[in-house]
Amino acid sequence: MSTTPAVTLARRPAGTPRPDDFAVTDVPVGQPGPDEVLVAVSELSLDPYLRSVLGPGHLDEPAVPIGGVVPGRAIGRVMASRSASVTAGTWVLAETGWRARAVVPATSVRPFTVPDGVPPSAVLGALGMPGLTAYAALERHLVPRPGDTVVVSAATGGVGSVAGALVAAAGARPVAIVGTSEKAKDAVDVLGYRAAVVRTAPDWEAQLAEACPDGIDGYLHLADQPTLTGVVKQLAVGARVSLCGLMDQYNDGPRTVLDAGAVMTARAVVHGMVVYDHGDLASEHAAKVGELLASGDLVLHEERHAGLHRAPEAFARLMSGANRGKVVVEVTT
C-alpha cells in the first residue's frame, strides 16, 4: 500500500487551536474497492465547525480520535473509480479529510460545475455550505424587506461575505460588524456593505447605533458573546435574529447567552440555524449566488494558503479570527 501526505490531530486543542495541535505526516492510501473512488485533492476547505469535530464533537458526531486524520471537505479529481456512476477524471466535492489523496465511497462524492469565470473553489464557499448557510438564514429567518437594516457579524468571512451581497440584492441595507479596520475596509470597498463597525473598538456600540439609526431589523450572528449582547440592545421592533455561529463558545469559551429582556422589548423572533436542515434550498441558492457572482455583485473573498502543511496554521488563524475571507488550502503535493 502506498502513502499520502496528511494532517492528523496530535492533541485536543485547549481553547483556540494552535498549529502544534496537529501533525503533518504520511498515512496509507490504498486502491478503491467496489463502489469506491480515489480522489486527488486540489483544494481543501477550512471551516469553524471543524473546531467542534476536534473536540468535544460536532452535533451528534463523536470527536476525531487523537492520531486520526482531520476530517474536512475538499474539491478534487477522481483518479480511479470502481463505480459505474462516477468516472475517472471527474471533478468532485468530497469529504476527504486533510490529506492529498483519499479513497471514499462513490455515493459520497458530488460532481460539480461552476459558472464561466468562477473559480472551482467557489464550491467550497459561496456556492457551497457557507453560501447556503447565508442564503437559508436570509430566506428562512431574516427575510429582508426593501429598506430594512440587516447587520451581519464576521461579515467578511465565508458566510458573512455572501450574506452581505444577498441583503443588498434584496434591497435592504447590509451593515457589517468585523474584527479589524482592514476587514472594515474589505466589507465596504469589496463586499458592498453600506457601513462597517469594528467590534473591538471601545465605542463600537455607539458606532453601530450611528450606522443603524432606525434600529436593526435583521441580525445574522456569526461572532461572539459581546457582539451578540451589544447588537440585541439595538433591535428594532419586530426584528428577526438568526443564531448561526458562536465563535468564542467553540473555542471552549462559556456558553453563549441571550438577553431575554432585549428580545422581549423588540418583540423579536430568534431562530437557531443548522444548515443541514436547509438542503432543499440548494438549487435556488446555487442559481441566485451564481447570478450574483456572474454579475460581479458578489465578489469571491478568499484567504488562500499554499500547501497541505499550511493547514494547521491556517486553521489556527481562522479560529482566532485573523482570517480575511473564506479559508482555502491549495493541496499542491
Ligand X SMILES: NC(=O)c1ccc[n+]([C@@H]2O[C@H](COP(=O)([O-])OP(=O)(O)OC[C@H]3O[C@@H](n4cnc5c(N)ncnc54)[C@H](OP(=O)(O)O)[C@@H]3O)[C@@H](O)[C@H]2O)c1
Q: Does 223 bind ligand X (CB under 6 A)?
A: yes
Q: Does 47 bind ligand X (CB under 6 A)?
A: yes
Separation between Cα atoms, residue 325 and residue 252, nearest integer Å: 23
Q: Does 128 bind ligand X (CB under 6 A)?
A: no
Measured over the CA atoms of residue 131, residue 303, residue 149 and residue 289, the dihedral's sign is negative
The H or E element that residue 79 is part of is strand 73-81
Q: Does 186 bind ligand X (CB under 6 A)?
A: no
Cβ closest to ligand X, residue 127 vs residue 178: 178
Q: Assess contact for 75 and 42: CB atoms under 8 A.
A: yes
Cβ closest to ligand X, residue 9 vs residue 246: 246
DSSP string, 28-73: EE----TTEEEEEEEEEEE-THHHHHTTT-STTSPPPPTTSBPP-E
Q: Does 144 bind ligand X (CB under 6 A)?
A: no
Cα 52 to chain centroid distance, Å, stands at 14
Cβ closest to ligand X, residue 192 vs residue 321: 321
Nearest-approach distance from CB 282 to ligand X, in angstroms: 14
Q: Does 131 bind ligand X (CB under 6 A)?
A: no
Q: How many residues make contact with ligand X (CB under 6 A)? A: 30
Cβ closest to ligand X, residue 130 vs residue 174: 130
Cβ closest to ligand X, residue 71 vs residue 105: 71
Place of cell 458566510: 159
Cα dist from 247 to 203, 218, 250, whole Å? 22, 19, 5
Nearest-approach distance from CB 319 to ligand X, in angstroms: 6
Nearest-approach distance from CB 129 to ligand X, in angstroms: 6
Cα dist from 62 to 59, 85, 137, 254, whole Å? 8, 30, 26, 21
Nearest-approach distance from CB 227 to ligand X, in angstroms: 6
Tell me which amino acid residue 87 is. Answer: T
Nearest-approach distance from CB 137 to ligand X, in angstroms: 8
Q: Does 287 bind ligand X (CB under 6 A)?
A: no
Cβ closest to ligand X, residue 152 vs residue 266: 152
Measured over the CA atoms of residue 205, residue 206, residue 211 and residue 214, the dihedral's sign is positive
Binding segment (CB under 6 A) for ligand X, from list 6-14, 66-74, 107-115, 149-157: 149-157
State the binding string over 237-266 for ligand X (x if CB under 6 A, else -): -------xx-xx------------------
Binding segment (CB under 6 A) for ligand X, from list 1-9, 35-43, 69-77, 270-278: 270-278
Separation between Cα atoms, residue 215 and residue 209, nearest integer Å: 7
Separation between Cα atoms, residue 217 and residue 239, nearest integer Å: 4
The contact set with ligand X (CB under 6 A) reads: 47-49, 130, 133, 154, 156-160, 178-179, 183, 199, 222-224, 244-245, 247-248, 273-275, 318, 320-321, 323, 326
